[in-house]
Amino acid sequence: MVTVFTTKQRDAEAKALINEAKTLVSLDAAEAPWHVAQPETPEPVIIEHSIDPVLQTEDSQLLGGAMEIKAPWKRD
C-alpha cells in the first residue's frame, strides 16, 4: 500500500486564511474614515419640571418635580 501525502488541502486553507486577513485589513482601513465622516450624536434634551403642589402632596414632594428625557432625532 502506497501512502500519498499532499499539501493541496493545507495550501488551500492557508490561501483562505491569507485572503481573510487581507479582507480584514482592508475593512479596518476603510472603517476609520467612515467613523470620522459620521455626524456627531446630539445630546438628549433633559427637562426638569418644578414641584406641582396639587399633584404632589406630603412625602412625594421630596422626590422633586417631574423629569423628561427626549431624544433629539434629526430627520434628513
What does the pLDDT look like over 28-64, one tens digit per residue? 888 888 888 988 888 899 999 999 888 888 888 888 8
pLDDT band at 8 (very low <50, low <70, confident <90, very high): confident
Range of the domain at 56: 8-70
Q: Is-contact 46 67, C-beta < 8 A?
A: yes
Asked whether residue 13 is domain-assigned, the answer is yes
Q: Average of pLDDT values for 1-15?
A: 80
Asked whether residue 65 is domain-assigned, the answer is yes
Adjacent-strand bridge partners of 46 = 69
**Does the predicted model carry a pTM greater than 0.95?**
no
Asked whether residue 30 is domain-assigned, the answer is yes
First CA to last CA across the chain, in angstroms?
A: 72
Helix (H) or strand (E) holding 14: helix 8-37
Phi and psi based region of residue 58 (left: phi greater than 0; alpha: psi -120 to 50; beta: remaining): left
Give me the number of domains the chain comprises.
1
Question: Of 48, 52, 40, which is closest to residue 67 (Cα–Cα)?
Answer: 48
